[in-house]
Amino acid sequence: MFAVCIASMQSCKKDSSNNSGGGGGNTSTTVSTGVGTGPGGSVVTGTDPAVATTQGFFLGGWQGKTFTDPTNTQTVSKPSGIGATTVVVDLSQITTKVSSLLFGNNINPFMGQVVDQPVLLANITALSPNIIRAPGGSLSDVYFWNGDGNGNAAAPGDAPTNLLSATGAASAAGYWYGNNTQDWTLTLTNYYSVLAQTNSTGLITVNYAYARYGTGPTPVPTAAHLAAQWVRYDKGKTTYWEVGNECYGNWEAGYEIDQTQNHDGQPAIITGALYGAHFQVFADSMRAAAAQVGNTNIKIGAVLTSANDINSNDGVSNWNNGVLTAGGNSPDFYVVHNYYTPYNQNSTAAEILSTPSSQTTGMMSWIQTSVQNAGVTQKPVAMDEWNIEATGSSQNVSNIAGLHAVMTLGSILQAQISMASRWDLANGWDNGDDQGIFSNSSSASGEEPGANPWNARPAFYYMWFFQKYFGDRMVASAVNGSTDIVSYGSSFSSGQAGVVLVNQGSTDHIVNIQFNNFAIGSNYYYYELNGGTDNAPFSHDVMINGVGPASGKTGGPSNYSSIAAIAQGVSGGITVVVPAYGAVFLVADKK
């Protein structure tokens, strides 16, 4: 049994520590006397840790955050009695600074031209991804940035009409073009416009697979030159670039090529060593092009796997070792993708919510092991695609996906990653198996029941509140009393302290919160988010302090940014109810 002292502000000891969040979860055995102080009533100031090698330059643009107390507030009755769960947040133990590049997203050409869609642009701006990756996932390797697809400047003459699938069967290549102005696709010009209109920076994936399937005499230099031309065209607007997308996978263009059309002796199936050698050619060409246009900060990433690939069943075995051994230290950063849940399985809520911490920790361990085994230097890590792949119960568009997003962001911070980009802004409804954070434009015709075009899904609201109520530094936090509750602590440069609480369980939990080494003020403010009553537990709705979407609609309330925060005094302790399959975003004022 654990002891609880928060509500009565008495000194006590803990005898259990069931769950930790906020980086390390390291707490002393004695809960401090008084709300907001350290041992003996003192406040110990934390020291920023050194920037980890896995973070590097992605943390270079860090800026402090200022939290402004909400003016629109409401009060509710505090839960009576002492809760069964205690969360201790220690501001003296700083895990990491919080990069603004953690909240990124992916755009893709099949969203359409989008610059004429004010609702979508307003939603993206509100989401504040800060970094938007393009031109897409797998289609990046069949994308020609300077073509229009109309014969004037289509695919290069040495790009074959057909490409091979994983089974060796040939089918139409299905190329995409950066200058196609039809309304069903997105021009490169409009991608740059979206970046400007949403205050975002770019992350561009160049077409590596062309170096594999190109039929000319020198396919690798030719493809690298095309990538370098894009860098010249970009004229320094973009810092972050990567060579190829999931090149190790048998679902990717270029995984297998027709050797009878190849003229530089490449194998039929790609290898990690081949990609590593080719990467150096691309990087050299792209860096030279960047220098010509004055882009002295260009960073180029190489594709790695996120899990053990030594005996891969659906791609290249031992990929990471081959890439790192052949590529050496030429990459500026490493690119990984993580879709957390098993592919195409009808995963339960418990299965989905169990993945963020374990999968992120395992991924980083695998990358670091791969680097060490190859004898190269650890570089910063960019997780530029992440989501879940559960199917069959509308998991992807649900409140559970929102909770998963919060837990993933927290786990990313704990793992000292400073660049992440969720997949993606919009896809297609697909009977609820849609990974888009917004509904697509055709949903107005009835594709998604109850959704307007570009309607925000539950994950949007969870990520919006995470950014607003999570500070610029992650600090240690620990949970005692329930394995359902996960916590992520933070502090603001303006002086406030915060915590995000996630309830993975199917029942509400009363939680008492203690902020250690913090001179607390008089009040704290918070929001409760949880799902609606539809399609339990995978509700298509999200409730914010009890306010849901308009009648007959899905997603969340349109007035989410103006809903009154719950305000309480710290006298008597900080106690909240974290709703079932829900979250609380809380900030305590400074003295």
- Look at residue 243 and tell me if it is in a domain: yes
Confidence of residue 556 (pLDDT cuts 50, 70, 90): very high
Which whole number is the average pLDDT over 2-10? 29
- Look at residue 430 and tell me if it is in a domain: no
Q: Are 573 and 9 contacting, i.e. CB atoms less than 8 angstroms apart?
A: yes
Q: Are residues 154 and 166 in the same domain?
A: yes
Q: Which domain holds residue 583?
A: 12-99+472-590
Can you give the pLDDT at residue 35? 53
- Look at residue 586 and tell me if it is in a domain: yes
Q: Exposure string (b/e) for 128-141, b if CB count within 10 Å is 16 or more?
A: bbbbbbbbbbebbb
Q: Which of 302, 331, 360 is the last residue of a domain?
A: 331
Confidence of residue 446 (pLDDT cuts 50, 70, 90): very low
Q: Are residues 140 and 265 in the same domain?
A: yes
Residues 428, 433, 439, 445: what is their CA dihedral angle, to the nearest 10 degrees?
60
Confidence of residue 408 (pLDDT cuts 50, 70, 90): very high
Q: Are residues 72 and 141 in the same domain?
A: no
- Identify the residue with better confidence: 7 or 412: 412
Can you give the pLDDT at residue 512? 95
Per-residue pLDDT tens for 172-217? 999 999 999 999 999 999 999 999 999 999 999 999 999 999 999 9
Least reliable range by pLDDT among 196-200, 316-320, 549-553: 549-553
Q: Is the pLDDT of residue 28 over 50?
A: no
Q: Which of 285, 315, 331 is the last residue of a domain?
A: 331
Which whole number is the average pLDDT over 562-570? 97
- CA-nearest of 434, 412, 433, 437 to 424 is 437
Per-residue pLDDT tens for 500-513? 999 999 999 999 99
Amino acid at 37: T
Can you give the pLDDT at residue 26? 32
- Look at residue 436 and tell me if it is in a domain: no
Q: What angle do CA 256, 154, 173 make, to 5 degrees?
A: 25
Q: Are residues 174 and 57 in the same domain?
A: no
- Look at residue 393 and tell me if it is in a domain: no
Can you give the pLDDT at residue 13? 29
Q: Are residues 77 and 165 in the same domain?
A: no
Please give the share of the chain, as a percent, with pLDDT higher than 90. 85
Q: What angle do CA 172, 178, 181 make, to 5 degrees?
A: 95
Q: Which of 271, 296, 331 is the last residue of a domain?
A: 331
Per-residue pLDDT tens for 363-407? 999 999 999 999 999 999 999 999 999 999 999 999 999 999 999
Which residues, in sequence order, are CB contacts of 563 under 8 Å at separation 6+?
72, 527, 544, 545, 547, 557
Backbone angles phi, psi at 268, to 5 degrees: -65, -40
Can you give the pLDDT at residue 407? 98
- Look at residue 414 and tell me if it is in a domain: no
Confidence of residue 521 (pLDDT cuts 50, 70, 90): very high
Task: Look over the chain and give the mean of its residue pLDDT values, rounded to a whole number.
Answer: 91
- Identify the residue with better confidence: 331 or 166: 331
Per-residue pLDDT tens for 447-492? 788 888 899 999 999 999 999 999 999 999 999 999 999 999 999 9
Confidence of residue 83 (pLDDT cuts 50, 70, 90): confident
Per-residue pLDDT tens for 226-261? 999 999 999 999 999 999 999 999 999 999 999 999
Can you give the pLDDT at residue 18? 41
Q: Are residues 265 and 146 in the same domain?
A: yes
Q: Are residues 194 and 291 in the same domain?
A: yes
Q: Are residues 306 and 175 in the same domain?
A: yes
Question: Could you tell me the CATH number of the domain that includes residue 66?
Answer: 2.60.40.1180
Can you give the pLDDT at residue 221? 98
Per-residue pLDDT tens for 117-126? 999 999 999 9
| Tokens linked to 37 | 């102080």
- Look at residue 195 and tell me if it is in a domain: yes
Q: Is the pLDDT of residue 10 over 90?
A: no
The pTM of the full predicted model, rounded to 2 decimals, is 0.93
Per-residue pLDDT tens for 101-154? 999 999 999 999 999 999 999 999 999 999 999 999 999 999 999 998 776 567
Structural domains of the chain, count: 2
- Look at residue 234 and tell me if it is in a domain: yes
Can you give the pLDDT at residue 152? 56
Q: Are residues 208 and 269 in the same domain?
A: yes
In 3-state terms the chain splits into helix, strand, coil percentages (rounded to 5) of 25, 25, 50
Measure the CA–CA gap between 456 and 465, rounded to whole angstroms.
Answer: 14
Measure the CA–CA gap between 126 and 138, rounded to whole angstroms.
Answer: 27
Q: Is the pLDDT of residue 23 over 80?
A: no
Least reliable range by pLDDT among 6-20, 100-114, 574-588: 6-20
Q: Are residues 85 and 224 in the same domain?
A: no
Q: Are residues 130 and 57 in the same domain?
A: no
Q: What angle do CA 571, 573, 578 make, to 5 degrees?
A: 130
Can you give the pLDDT at residue 166? 77
Q: Are residues 61 and 181 in the same domain?
A: no
Q: Is the pLDDT of residue 42 over 90?
A: no
| 366 alpha carbon, distance to own chain's centre | 19
Q: Is the pLDDT of residue 304 over 50?
A: yes
Q: Are 22 and 515 contacting, i.e. CB atoms less than 8 angstroms apart?
A: no
